[in-house]
């Protein structure tokens, strides 16, 4: 399979290595704006860039009928526009706030726990915490937002905010520390105890492998997808 990498930073380089090991040809490695010419006719694009350029990067690829796997966070207010562009151009878009298998199992565990804990909302408060390396620009992380959305969908919470939990607003604490790849925790606290679920990434390799697996899955499909469809969760 021919893969174009749009965004060739730390993640892009790891994806490049994993794609090559899995027998794929990386035909383009871009840190500049993609065009039909410099994309070099790929079967799929994997986009890991920066929040301020992600929308235009993805839009260009989809308008050239190239399916896109995107892992860039911090631009999601424009995601509905991208999903519409994918449909209009009869191609496919797959967004993942986090592509690792462990995190996607964590998402499923989080939703099931939220359903269970919703019966005890008067006894337990809920708080999220995410820790990432100091180079991460957006806060909270896209993964933390996905975790929060999973709780909101299965509880009385109505929204999330970057702060402590208050009423129907679910709080997310964001910490930037050293070179931490990513740690996400959900706490349910009462006066007498605490329940915690936590996912800790040891490196970026799990994210990168998941992105390549998503790219292997996507070509030939039409519409908008996430890792739930890829992993059958």
Neighbour-count burial of 134, counting CB atoms closer than 10 A to its CB (0-12 exposed, 13-18 middle, 19+ buried): exposed
Mutual angle of helices 101-117 and 205-217, in 10-degree steps:
90
- Return the ∠ at Cα 183 (arms to 181 and 186), rounded to 5°: 165
The distance of Cα 31 from the centroid of its chain, to the nearest Å, equals 20
Q: Which of 13, 29, 133, 136 is catalytic?
A: 136
Least confident of 46-50, 141-145, 161-165: 141-145
The per-residue pLDDT of the chain, averaged, comes to: 95
Helix intervals (H) in the chain: 10-21, 36-39, 51-63, 79-88, 101-117, 142-152, 205-217, 227-231
> What confidence tier does 232 reach under pLDDT thresholds 50, 70, 90?
confident
pLDDT in tens, 125-159: 999 999 999 988 789 998 899 999 999 999 999 99
Torsion of CA 18, 20, 22, 26, to 10 degrees: 100
> What confidence tier does 107 reach under pLDDT thresholds 50, 70, 90?
very high
Domain locations along the chain? 2-99+205-231, 101-200
The architecture in CATH of the region 2-99+205-231 reads 3-Layer(aba) Sandwich (3.40)
pLDDT in tens, 213-226: 999 999 999 999 99
Say how far apart CA 146 and CA 226 lie, in whole Å: 11
Q: How many CA atoms lie within 13 A of 15 on its CB side?
A: 34
Is 135 one of the annotated active-site residues of the chain? no
The distance of Cα 138 from the centroid of its chain, to the nearest Å, equals 12
User: Domain 101-200, what fold?
Assistant: Dihydrodipicolinate Reductase; domain 2 (3.30.360)
| Percent of all residues in the chain with a pLDDT value above 90, rounded to a whole number | 87
Mutual angle of helices 142-152 and 101-117, in 10-degree steps:
30
Residue bearing the bigger pLDDT, 186 or 205? 186
pTM to 2 decimal places: 0.79
- In this model, does residue 124 exceed pLDDT 90? yes
The per-residue pLDDT for 103 is 92
Q: Which of 24, 59, 132, 184 is catalytic?
A: 132
Q: What is the mean pLDDT of residues 119-127?
A: 96
Q: Report in angstroms the alpha-carbon separations of 150 from 5, 13, 50, 111, 159.
A: 30, 31, 25, 5, 11
| Percent of all residues in the chain with a pLDDT value above 70, rounded to a whole number | 100
Q: What is the mean pLDDT of residues 39-49?
A: 96
Residue 60, SS3 per DSSP:
helix
Same fold: 2-99+205-231 with 101-200: no
> What confidence tier does 233 reach under pLDDT thresholds 50, 70, 90?
confident
Is 132 one of the annotated active-site residues of the chain? yes
Backbone angles phi, psi at 95, to 5 degrees: -105, 135
The per-residue pLDDT for 137 is 79
- In this model, does residue 79 exceed pLDDT 90? yes
């Amino acid at each position: 399979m021919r893969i174009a990498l749009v965004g060739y930073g730390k993640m892009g380089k790891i994806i490049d290595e994993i794609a090559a090991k899995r027998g794929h040809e990386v035909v383009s490695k871009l840190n500049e704006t993609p065009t039909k010419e410099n994309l070099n006719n790929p079967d799929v694009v994997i986009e890991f860039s920066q929040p301020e350029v992600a929308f235009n990067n993805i839009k260009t690829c989809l308008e050239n009928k190239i399916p896109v796997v995107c892992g860039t966070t911090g631009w999601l207010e424009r995601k509905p526009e991208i999903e519409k562009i994918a449909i209009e151009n009869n191609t496919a878009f797959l967004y993942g706030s986090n592509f690792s298998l462990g995190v996607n199992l964590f998402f499923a565990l989080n939703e099931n726990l939220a359903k269970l804990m919703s019966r005890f909302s008067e006894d337990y408060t809920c708080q999220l915490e995410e820790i990432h390396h100091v180079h991460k620009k957006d806060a909270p992380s896209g993964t933390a937002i996905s975790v929060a959305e999973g709780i909101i969908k299965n509880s009385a919470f109505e929204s999330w905010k970057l702060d402590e939990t208050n009423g129907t607003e679910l709080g997310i604490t964001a910490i930037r520390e050293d070179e931490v790849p990513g740690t996400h925790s959900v706490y349910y606290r009462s006066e007498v105890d605490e329940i915690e679920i936590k996912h800790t990434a040891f490196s970026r390799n799990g994210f990168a492998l998941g992105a390549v697996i998503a790219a292997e899955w996507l070509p030939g499909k039409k519409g908008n997808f996430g890792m739930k469809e890829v992993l059958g969760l």
